[in-house]
Structure 1
Amino acid sequence: MIRLNAFFKVKAGVTTAQVKELADELVALSRKDEGNKGYDLFESTTQPGVFLFCESWEDKACLTRHARSEHFTRIVPELEKLTDGGLSIEQFER
């Protein structure tokens, strides 16, 4: 099992609604990907403008297919435009 935690901070002037519009679509579509065991978005309650994607994948092959999917390659670059410095990703294996 692979766990990804992807943190990002939104740019000044970007609203939560802008982030959630893209992120909610990514979450909904990614949950349908083969091998997905969980995919959620959380907003920090202690650091304004900080968000976290928590993803769990059956194995590396499933994660690779996800990263090549139409929805991922379309949505993530748009989401990154709203961030201050892009996504910071931590990967864990069990």
Structure 2
Amino acid sequence: MIRLNAFFKVKAGVTTAQVKALTDELVESSRKDEGNKGYDLFESTTQPGVYMFCESWENAELLKRHAASEHFTRIVPELEKLTDGGLSIEQFKR
């Protein structure tokens, strides 16, 4: 099992509604990807504008397929335009 935690901070002036317009589709579509064991987005309660994706995947091959999926390759670049410095990803395995 692989666990990813992807953090990002939005640029000044970006709203939660703007973030959710992209991330809701990404979360919903990714949950349907083969090998997905969990995919959620959280908004920090202590650091305004900071978000975290929590993802769990069956194995590296299925995670690789997810990263190449249409929804991922379309939505993540659009999301990165809203961030201050892109996404920071921590990967763990069990």
- TM superposition score category, shorter chain reference: over 0.9
Alignment partner of 1:6 is 2:3: no
Partner of 2:75: 75
Runs of 4+ displaced beyond 6 Å: none
What is the count of residue pairs matched by the alignment?
A: 94
% same residue:
86
Q: CA deviation at 1:2?
A: 0.1
CA distance in structure 1 between the aligned counterparts of 2:55 and 2:28, rounded to whole angstroms: 12
Unaligned regions of 5+ residues in structure 2, if any? none
Trace 1:5-84 onto structure 2 (pairs within 5 A): 5-84=5-84
Unaligned regions of 5+ residues in structure 1, if any? none
TM-score by length of structure 1 reads 0.99
How large is the RMSD of aligned CA atoms in angstroms? 0.3
